[in-house]
Structure 1
Amino acid sequence: MNKKFLSLNEILFLIIGCILMSVSLTMFFEPHAIAPGGLTGLAIVINSIVNIPLWIINLSFNVPLFILAYKILSKKDCLKTILGIIFLTIGLKLTANLANINATSDPILASICGSILMGISLGFIFRINGSTGGTDLIGILANKFFPHLSVAVLMGIADFVVVVLSGVASSQLEIALYSAVSLYAIVKITDIVIEGFNYSKSFMIISDKSDELITIIMEELDRGATFLKGEGGYTRAEKDIIFIVVSRKQVVTLKKLVKSIDPNAFVVVTETHEIFGNGFKQIY
Structure 2
Amino acid sequence: MNRALLNYLGIVVGAAITALGLNMFLIPNKIAAGGVSGLATVLHHLLGVPVGLTMIAFDVPLLLISLKVLGPRFGVNTLLGAVILALSIDVSAPYIPALTHDLLLSALYGGVISGLGLGIVFRSQGTTAGTDQIAAIINKLFSIPIGQALMMVDFFVIASAGIVFKSAELSLYALISLFVTSKLIDLIQEGPSSAKVFLIVTTIPETIADAILADLSRGVTLFSARGGYTKQAGEMVMCVVSTREVTQLKQLVSQLDEKAFVIVADAHEVLGEGFSK
* Unmatched runs of 5 consecutive residues or more in structure 2: none
Q: Give the gaps of 5 or more residues in structure 1.
A: none
| Equivalences for residues 119-130 of structure 1 within 5 A | 119-130=115-126
Contact 1:26 1:98 in 2 (8 A): no
Distance apart, 1:235 and its partner CA: 5.6
Counterpart mapping for 1:1-284 below 5 A: 7-98=4-95, 101-138=97-134, 155-233=150-228, 237-282=232-277
Residues 140 and 59 of structure 1: CA distance in aligned 2, closer, same or farther (over 3 Å) = same
Structure 1 residue 40, shift from structure 2 partner = 0.9
SS in 2 for 1:95: helix
Deviation at 1:180? 0.3
Matched pairs, number: 274
Deviation (angstroms), 1:169:
2.2
Aligned mates of 1:203, 1:232 — CA distance in 2: 18
TM-score by structure 1 length? Answer: 0.87
Q: Which amino acid aligns with 1:58?
A: M
Aligned counterparts of 2:209 and 2:152: Cα–Cα separation in 1: 48
> What TM-score do the two structures reach when normalised by structure 2?
0.89
Kindly provide the CA deviation profile for residues 194-249 of structure 1, in whole angstroms up to 9, marking residues without a partner as x: 22224322111121211221121122212111111223446654422111011222
In 2, the alpha carbon distance for the partners of 1:116 and 1:141 equals 23
**Alignment-mate amino acid for residue 85 of structure 2:** L
Matched residue of 1:222: which SS? coil
SS for the counterpart of 1:206 is: strand
Displacement after TM superposition at 1:156 (Å):
4.0
Kept in 2, the 8 Å contact 1:84–1:130? The answer is: yes
Instruction: Assess if the C-alpha contact under 8 Å between 2:150 and 2:182 holds in 1.
Output: no
Percent identity (aligned): 32
Q: Within 2, Cα distance between the matches of 1:107 and 1:48?
A: 16
Quote the offset at 1:173 in angstroms: 1.5
Asked if the contact 1:203/1:244 (under 8 Å) is kept, the reply is: yes
Helix, strand or coil at the partner of 1:71:
helix
3-state secondary structure, aligned to 2:68: coil
Distance 1:137 1:248 in 2: 35
Residue 223 of structure 1: SS of its match in structure 2? coil
